[in-house]
């Protein structure tokens, strides 16, 4: 994965979002804003939505596009792949967080209540605390990093059978097969 470079914003992006939002039927506004606006209110809601959702900074590399919004004390990273495919590599997300916010900053990906779910594309969101000294009150306390998994299981495989093949790291436990 190549390093990120900051991209100049294309003002046409706002125009595309504006046109799309203005074309939505009254039910759209009633569902998301709780009322059907008159034309002046509709323009105001559309402009307010564009200002709230457009990122002030955009970074790109050979694989990803990341929109960055600072919402102190958090930085919101809105990530997607150029090819529109799902992001399947957790290590890429870690590297993006490290490069754009900082290696000692902690972030989370929220899996929301269904009532707050937004799922319109293969787009991912990380919320990162800018304070490098901040730690969430959950998660592992010590670093354990392997170049690749030591053992994996296929579906239907007996989880204890893997222990017969020798040492296996699972979570924070070092499991070694018992010998009789």
pTM: 0.66
Domains and CATH numbers, the chain: 1-54 (no CATH), 57-137 (2.60.40), 151-180 (no CATH)
Percent of the chain whose predicted confidence (pLDDT) is above 70:
82
Question: First and final CA of the chain: distance in angstroms?
Answer: 47
What confidence score (pLDDT) does residue 157 get?
A: 62
Residues 2-56: pLDDT tens digits? 999 998 877 788 888 899 999 998 888 888 888 999 999 999 999 988 877 776 8
pLDDT band at 128 (very low <50, low <70, confident <90, very high): very high
| Stronger pLDDT, 148 or 4, i.e. the higher one | 4
Structure tokens at 67: 């929109």
């Amino acid at each position: 994965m190549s390093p990120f470079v900051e991209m100049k914003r294309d003002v046409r992006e706002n125009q595309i979002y504006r046109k799309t939002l203005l074309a939505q039927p009254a039910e759209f506004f009633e569902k998301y804003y709780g009322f059907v606006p008159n034309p002046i209110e509709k323009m105001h809601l559309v402009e307010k939505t564009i200002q709230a959702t457009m990122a002030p900074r955009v970074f790109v590399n050979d694989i990803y596009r990341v929109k960055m919004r600072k919402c102190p004390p958090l930085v919101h990273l809105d990530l997607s792949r150029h090819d529109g495919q799902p992001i399947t590599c957790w290590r890429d997300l870690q590297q993006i967080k490290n490069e754009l916010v900082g290696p000692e900053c902690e972030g989370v990906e929220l899996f929301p209540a269904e009532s707050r779910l937004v799922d319109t594309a293969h787009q991912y969101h990380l919320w990162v605390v800018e304070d490098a000294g901040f730690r969430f009150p959950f998660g592992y306390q010590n670093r354990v990093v392997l170049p690749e998994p030591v053992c994996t299981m296929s579906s239907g495989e007996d989880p204890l059978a893997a222990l017969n093949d020798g040492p296996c790291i699972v979570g924070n436990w070092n499991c070694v097969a018992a010998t009789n």
